[in-house]
Amino acid sequence: MLAQAKTKKEYKKVIAEMLGLIDSEPEDEKSLASSIKTVDLIMIPPQ
C-alpha cells in the first residue's frame, strides 16, 4: 500500500486508511497495541 503513495498527500491518505482499518477492527487492547506498533514500523516517510 505505502509503495503506491508517491506524494505526501497520498501517503497521509494511505496512513489514514490504515489507521481507520485498525480502528474499525473489534480487537482487544493488546492486539490493537500490536497493530499500532506494526503500523509505526512501516510508517517511514518517503524520501
Whole-number pLDDT of residue 43? 62
pTM of full prediction above 0.75: no
Residue 17 confidence (pLDDT):
78
Radius of gyration, alpha carbons of the chain: 11
pLDDT (tens digit per residue) in 24-35:
555 566 666 666
- CB 10, CB 4: distance < 8 Å: yes
Tens of pLDDT along 3-17?
555 777 877 887 777
Distance CA 39, CA 4 (A): 16
Q: What is the pLDDT of residue 24?
A: 58
For 34-47, letters b (16+ CB in 10 Å) and e give: ebeeeeeeeeeeee
Position 38 scores a pLDDT of: 65
